[in-house]
Amino acid sequence: MDEDPPPYLRIVAELKRRITTGRLRPGDRVPSTRQITREWGVAMATATKALTALHQEGLVRPVPGVGTVVADPGTGAAPSRRSAPELSEERIVRAAIAIADAEGLATLTMRRIATSLGTSVMALYRYVSGRDELVTLMADRVLADGWLSEPQPQGWRACLEWSARRQWALYRRHPWLAHAISFTRPMATPQAMAQGEWGMRAVDGLGLDPVTMVHIYVTVANYVHGTAAHLEAEAEAVQQTGTTDDEWMESTVLPQMGEFPLLSRIPPDSLDLDTLFEFGLQRLLDGVAALIASVRADGDTDVDRPR
């Protein structure tokens, strides 16, 4: 009696059938790992293994900000190991970032990265010790987005506001980043340390002690981080349902607001994460301004002098 094929092969066969029959066309999103776990009742590892197998056959490819999509015929095959460019830490990190951008951090495994690079898992370990180190390298790489070298605005508030918005933009481009950064065990990487130094310099010379200076910067950065923690879930919800947050608000939340007179007066676009981020950032900086004003009252410090 023949044994049933492994669960991941059944999933692969079904998704291949959908692709070959045209139900899924080139550029269409294939089910995410979470959708696969729900539809087939399998573990996340099994879902990841199925998508990896499809990628190895050249049937699907990751697209940053979209997810895994059906590959165009003749263009989606993984590179052969013989013709693949030479491995390096930079290539591995960039490949990992592309996968995490497209599919989320939970799907990132050394096997998945090896598949995308057309190499073996063991070859990756010549450059990185494992997934934990790789995620740290990924975070440091995206933090090194060049913003520290750009012209900085004048005045402490303008500097902190500008820094917070740049961090928010990074989290927007890489929704997984908030889950890779910890404020209880901060990364001791070059970029993380440089940004901390930059943040303290923004409020240096205002009569504040070093502990208060670093607390101000970390509080602002942690606010951005905490708000950004919702971004990956938001991206996954869009991938899984095909419905944007605005469409979800329109179809699900707004119809219920009519029963509540105060809520019904809220414009639909006032509850998106960007709006909430901007409101909270300004209130947080108002509090910092009050703190600095009290220091000025004691020491008559010129708060907004150019540095």
Which CATH number covers residue 151? Answer: 1.10.357.10
How many domains does the chain contain in total?
Answer: 2
Higher pLDDT, 65 or 145: 145
Range in 5-19, 175-189, 256-270 the model is least confident about: 256-270
- Mean pLDDT over 109-113 rounds to 90
Q: Tell me: pLDDT of 2 over 80.
A: no
pLDDT for the residue 210:
93
Q: How far apart are CA 51 and CA 63, in angstroms?
A: 13
pLDDT for the residue 214:
93
Higher pLDDT, 75 or 99: 99
* Domain stops at, among 111, 127, 142: 142
Range in 77-81, 201-205, 256-260 the model is least confident about: 77-81
Q: Are residues 169 and 79 in the same domain?
A: no
- Range of 14's domain? 8-142
pLDDT for the residue 168:
92
Q: Are residues 119 and 186 in the same domain?
A: no
Q: Tell me: pLDDT of 154 over 90.
A: no
Q: Tell me: pLDDT of 216 over 70.
A: yes
* Domain stops at, among 142, 170, 189: 142
Residue 74 binned pLDDT confidence (cut-offs 50, 70, 90): low
pLDDT for the residue 38:
81
* Domain stops at, among 142, 173, 201: 142
Q: Are residues 155 and 138 in the same domain?
A: no
- The CATH number of the domain holding residue 138 is 1.10.10.60
8 A C-beta contact, residue 26 and residue 8 = no
Q: Are residues 46 and 32 in the same domain?
A: yes
pLDDT for the residue 127:
93
Residue 66, both tokens: 């979209």
pLDDT for the residue 83:
45
Express as a percent the part of the chain with pLDDT over 90.
29
Round to the nearest angstrom and report the end-to-end CA distance of the chain.
79
Q: Are residues 183 and 240 in the same domain?
A: yes
pLDDT for the residue 97:
93
Q: Tell me: pLDDT of 40 over 70.
A: yes
Q: Which of 64, 75, 36, 41 lies closest to 52 in space, CA to CA?
A: 36
Q: Are residues 173 and 52 in the same domain?
A: no
With respect to residue 64, please indicate whether it lies within any of the assigned structural domains.
yes
Q: Tell me: pLDDT of 305 over 50.
A: no
- Mean pLDDT over 150-154 rounds to 73
With respect to residue 304, please indicate whether it lies within any of the assigned structural domains.
no
With respect to residue 3, please indicate whether it lies within any of the assigned structural domains.
no
With respect to residue 238, please indicate whether it lies within any of the assigned structural domains.
yes
pLDDT for the residue 61:
83
With respect to residue 305, please indicate whether it lies within any of the assigned structural domains.
no
Q: Are residues 127 and 158 in the same domain?
A: no
With respect to residue 188, please indicate whether it lies within any of the assigned structural domains.
yes
Average pLDDT value for the chain: 81
Q: Are residues 149 and 294 in the same domain?
A: yes
Q: Tell me: pLDDT of 292 over 60.
A: yes
Residue type, 226: G
Residue 173, both tokens: 């481009």
Q: Are residues 185 and 133 in the same domain?
A: no
With respect to residue 48, please indicate whether it lies within any of the assigned structural domains.
yes
pLDDT for the residue 185:
72
Residue 303 binned pLDDT confidence (cut-offs 50, 70, 90): very low
Angle between helices 7-20 and 44-56 (to 10 degrees): 50
Residue 125, both tokens: 């370990």
Q: Where are the beta strands (DSSP E) in the chain?
A: 60-63, 67-70
With respect to residue 154, please indicate whether it lies within any of the assigned structural domains.
yes
Q: Are residues 31 and 155 in the same domain?
A: no
Q: Are residues 116 and 214 in the same domain?
A: no
Residue 34 binned pLDDT confidence (cut-offs 50, 70, 90): confident
Q: Are residues 169 and 291 in the same domain?
A: yes
Q: How far apart are CA 283 and CA 281, in angstroms?
A: 6
